[in-house]
Copies of this chain bind each other. A is one copy, B any other.
Amino acid sequence: MNEAVVLTPERILEVTEDVLRRFGLAKATVVDVARALDVSHGSVYRHFPSKASLREAVARRWLDRVSAPLAKIAEGSGPAPARLERWLRTLCLAKQKKVCDDPEMFATYLALAREACVVVKAHREKLADQIATILSDGVKQGAFQVTDIKGSARAILDAINRYHHPAHAEEWKDADLAVRFDALLALLLKGLEAPRKR
């Protein structure tokens, strides 16, 4: 089964993800990971200086799966308003999907978010950068009137906080979620809109 496979950080991350999915964050141990890799637990520490940093690396890798497809939308072409709307909807749907599809990894993300972990902050900053790309295009297209691109990008991300931050995941089951989200998007897009040339 476990043949002479070279132990790599990537391999450790894969297996750690599996262990987290199986046991949950609270019960998963470095010893579990080592056992699954058929190595001593000391070997894991050659690649990750602590259990906490292993946990962060796994979360970072997992969150990158959320932000990578969004980057494609952000860097796309076409009218900026439609692109921003698509980006925002995609982000929130992706997070909503993760709750159902990958509950234990999502719980890890929630735990890290509660700890104000740098990985979650970096993820948020990456998302804001993507929004800023779209805003910048929108200004060039004359579709958006935005003076502070980065500040507005962050404001938008804050504004939809309730729809993508893991602390609010339970609320994503509310029957009126879509209606409320639509109303918020409409308000934000209107706030970004450049005056119509008449």
- Which chain B residues border A162 with CB–CB below 8 Å? 158, 161, 165
> Please, how many angstroms separate the alpha-carbon atoms of A183 and B198 in the complex?
27
Contact, CB under 8 Å: B116 / A187: no
* One of B152, B170, B189 near A116 (C-beta < 8 A): B170
* One of B152, B161, B170, B188 near A161 (C-beta < 8 A): B161
- Which chain B residues border A180 with CB–CB below 8 Å? 151, 154-155, 158
Q: Is A167 positioned at the interface, with any CB of B under 8 Å from its CB?
A: yes
Q: Is A34 positioned at the interface, with any CB of B under 8 Å from its CB?
A: no
Q: Is A156 positioned at the interface, with any CB of B under 8 Å from its CB?
A: yes
Q: How many copies does the complex hold?
A: 2
Q: Is A68 positioned at the interface, with any CB of B under 8 Å from its CB?
A: no
Q: Is A101 positioned at the interface, with any CB of B under 8 Å from its CB?
A: no
Q: Is A190 positioned at the interface, with any CB of B under 8 Å from its CB?
A: yes
Contact, CB under 8 Å: B170 / A167: no
Q: Do most interface residues of chain A lie in helix, strand or loop, or is the interface mixed?
A: helix
Q: In the complex, how many angstroms separate the beta carbon of A142 from the nearest chain B beta carbon?
A: 17
> Please, how many angstroms separate the alpha-carbon atoms of A191 and B161 in the complex?
18
* One of B151, B152, B160, B187 near A192 (C-beta < 8 A): B187
* One of B116, B161, B183, B198 near A148 (C-beta < 8 A): B183
> Please, how many angstroms separate the alpha-carbon atoms of A168 and B158 in the complex?
11
Ordered by A's residue number, 19 sampled pairs between the chains whose C-beta atoms are within 8 Å are A151-B179, A152-B187, A155-B184, A155-B186, A155-B187, A156-B187, A158-B159, A158-B160, A158-B162, A158-B163, A158-B180, A159-B159, A159-B184, A159-B188, A161-B161, A162-B165, A187-B191, A191-B191, A198-B198
Binding site for B on A (CB under 8 A): 116, 148, 151-152, 154-156, 158-163, 165, 167-168, 170-171, 179-180, 183-184, 186-192, 198
**6 new A-B pairs (CB below 8 Å) besides A158-B160, A167-B167, A187-B192?**
A116-B171, A148-B183, A161-B161, A167-B168, A187-B191, A188-B191
